Structure 1
Amino acid sequence: MKENRYFQMVYLLLEKGSMTAPELAKHFEVSVRTIYRDIDILSAAGIPVYATQGKGGGISIQDKFVLKKSVLSEQEQTQILMALQGLRIVEDEDTRALLSKLNSAFQKQNVNWLEIDFSSWTKSGAGKENFQKLQSAIFESRVVSFLYYNGKGESTKRVVEPLKLAFKSTDWYLYGYCSMRSDFRFFKLTRIRNLEITKDRYTRPIPDQIFTEAEDFEMETIQVTLLFDKSMSFRVYDKFDDEVTETQDGSLLVETVMPNNELLFRYILSCGDKVEVLHPQSLRDKISERARNIAEKYKT
């Protein structure tokens, strides 16, 4: 975005002191002509940026210039710091430096409102590393390639234009345009392997909303009725929240919609004998069949 380039250019010149137009053009990957046009726009906005000719010359901002925090309200200042704090979760050096500068400029203490750990309780995963790489790829509009494992354990090589990182339910996803499918797709970060940022760039705009518009994110679903033993309350309320009805004997009745795929079977079987499928009958039959197959494996 142009506005983001203007903002970065001001801070870059404040930090470096002076840079040539070709250096700025290379940094932002635009033409020298565009840089001079940006300088004119910044000057018109009241920022004292100027260019000097000859050896040792370049583009600079007057030494006494400071970014006026008065152009932003107190609420806007806090919102900016909170947004940057969210990005800082992935330990990005540029973001930390910018956050420090703005904290100083706004005379505010660090707004530590968010903390995320990408690893599980038992082991570290690839989620954080993938998040960092994809963040860089999205900011630079670069195409990525990776090996992706679907829910059946099958792997495919994907080339994707990364558009957004999104958190849905309990997992992080990449939303982007997949060249193999010729369509927009969601990719679970923990299923991405061998992620590489390519030199290719894309110009596809980033959508404002994705979950409300992307029907393909929603799996095929099925209406189910489950009866849990009261000892499973910690798991039941974690997953189903306000869909739980407590019966007279303390059992927990859940009527909900769940994915009609392997995830459903894995969840029910993970509850062992502490859950009973009441509806539909077809699901009861499949669970019963799987239970028989499991029991058969343990016969001596």
Structure 2
Amino acid sequence: MGYMRASRLLSLLLLLQTRGRMTAPELSAELEVSVRTVYRDIEALSAAGVPVYADRGPAGGYRLLDGYRTKVNGLSSEEASSLFLAALPGPAAELGLAEVAATAELKLLAALPPGPRSQAARMRERFHLDVPGWYRAGDDVPFLSEVSRAVWDQRVLRLRYRRWGPQEVERLVHPYGLVLKGGSWYLAAACDDSVRTYRVSRVIDADVLDEWFERPADFDLVAFWRRFSAEFAARMYTADAVVRVAPDAAGLFRYTFGDVADEALRLGVTEDDGWTRVKLPIESPRHARWQLLRLGAAVEVLEPADLRDLMAETAAELSAMYRA
């Protein structure tokens, strides 16, 4: 659940707690969202165990069970700590929410009783989340604010987008959600009857239109991203290589190839000389050559033959260069 939706659900809950019975149109006006969004939020609160009831009839509306009140100080020490561990100041700043997030953190700290407050403060002092990987900064995303506004307001977005290579395209999209992955922001958006992903750093221009769109009630951003990630990995790894890894090179092998190396080593066979024979998924022989060269003589390619030949050719060129 995104920060903005979580904030809206809390606002809805506090409105019902402080004002009593309210209709969907009244909640819609207060929260500045559609009535349909109010219905979805009420369902989300109910699914989370909040006792929200609907009264029928002309004087009907939504209300909380008599006597029910939400209490922030009902958080355990571990729960309060986890909230501060989940705070990401960098992404919040990129979304224009740095000040809001800081204010919310201060309010939460002030509302907590001494025990959980102390634990949460210690968590903030001792743990820091840095999203981008080593040796690279996060993407430059000059149009992230426009993209996030379109996602939040459910407005059609006109994008001018740089695809891989020099090609530029223009797209009219329905933005469904944003994902932060390894320091890079990705937009999930509907275009031409399918949901696609766009790397926000490749957006050359963004124009938020006045046209409103209906976001599908059954669209699950987390589930979509999991499917996309699995499909992306399947498309990326188009072949397998059989390689032997030296006994002292397993760590570097994992560092170079990531999760696929863990699986390859787990299924690998340790031979009499201590080397491990593994089947390694690769994008292509040419791409794999440069990755495998990082391990030097600590890895030997057995198959496919064209990758083994490429390794031998590169090794010969390096040898000639340094002998000269």
TM-score under structure 1 length normalisation: 0.59
1:198 to 205, 208, 211: 208
Does residue 101 (structure 1) correspond to residue 107 (structure 2)? The answer is: yes
Distance 1:74 1:184, change over 3 A: same
Tell me which residue corresponds to 2:300.
Answer: 276
Distance in 1 (alpha carbons) for counterparts of 2:249 and 2:5 = 53
Q: CA deviation at 1:114?
A: 6.2
The one-letter code of the counterpart of 2:102 is: R
8 Å contact from structure 2 (residues 243, 302) kept in 1? yes
Q: CA deviation at 1:197?
A: 6.1
C-alpha RMSD over aligned residues: 5.0
The one-letter code of the counterpart of 2:281 is: V
Unaligned runs of at least 5 residues, structure 2: 18-24, 39-53, 55-59
Distance in 2 (alpha carbons) for counterparts of 1:271 and 1:193 = 36
Does residue 243 (structure 1) correspond to residue 264 (structure 2)? The answer is: yes
Q: CA deviation at 1:177?
A: 2.7
Q: CA deviation at 1:291?
A: 6.1
Tell me which residue corresponds to 1:232.
Answer: 249
Aligned 1:160-179 pairs, distance under 5 A: 160=173, 161-165=175-179, 167=181, 172=184, 174=186, 176-177=188-189, 179=191
Unaligned runs of at least 5 residues, structure 1: 15-20, 48-66
8 Å contact from structure 1 (residues 69, 105) kept in 2? no
Aligned 1:22-33 pairs, distance under 5 A: 25=29, 28=32
Distance 1:198 1:293, change over 3 A: farther
2:130 to 117, 121, 133: 117
Distance in 2 (alpha carbons) for counterparts of 1:195 and 1:84 = 34
Distance 1:295 1:29, change over 3 A: farther
**SS, match of residue 116 in structure 1:** coil
Q: CA deviation at 1:259?
A: 2.9
Q: CA deviation at 1:174?
A: 1.9
The one-letter code of the counterpart of 1:192 is: R
The one-letter code of the counterpart of 1:116 is: L
Deviations 1:217-257 (A, max 9, x none): 23142222222345533321333235325555454433232
Distance 1:230 1:174, change over 3 A: same
Aligned 1:3-152 pairs, distance under 5 A: 5=8, 7-8=10-11, 25=29, 28=32, 41=61, 44-45=63-64, 68-69=70-71, 74=75, 79=79, 82=82, 85-89=85-89, 90-91=91-92, 92=97, 93-107=99-113, 108-109=116-117, 110=120, 112=124, 115-119=128-132, 121-122=134-135, 124-126=137-139, 137-142=150-155, 143=157, 145=159, 147-150=161-164
Deviations 1:11-65 (A, max 9, x none): 7999xxxxxx99x94972558xx9xx9xx856x3379xxxxxxxxxxxxxxxxxx
**SS, match of residue 177 in structure 1:** strand
Tell me which residue corresponds to 1:157.
Answer: 169
Distance 1:144 1:257, change over 3 A: farther
Distance in 2 (alpha carbons) for counterparts of 1:11 and 1:45 = 10
Tell me which residue corresponds to 1:222.
Answer: 239
Distance 1:229 1:223, change over 3 A: same
Distance in 2 (alpha carbons) for counterparts of 1:234 and 1:134 = 40
Distance 1:288 1:115, change over 3 A: same
Distance in 1 (alpha carbons) for counterparts of 2:304 and 2:296 = 18
The one-letter code of the counterpart of 2:208 is: T
Q: CA deviation at 1:285?
A: 3.8
Distance 1:163 1:278, change over 3 A: same
Distance 1:134 1:250, change over 3 A: farther
Tell me which residue corresponds to 1:183.
Answer: 194
Distance 1:87 1:262, change over 3 A: farther
Percent of aligned positions that are identical: 15
Distance in 1 (alpha carbons) for counterparts of 2:212 and 2:310 = 47
Distance 1:279 1:148, change over 3 A: same
Q: How many residues are paired up?
A: 262
**SS, match of residue 95 in structure 1:** helix
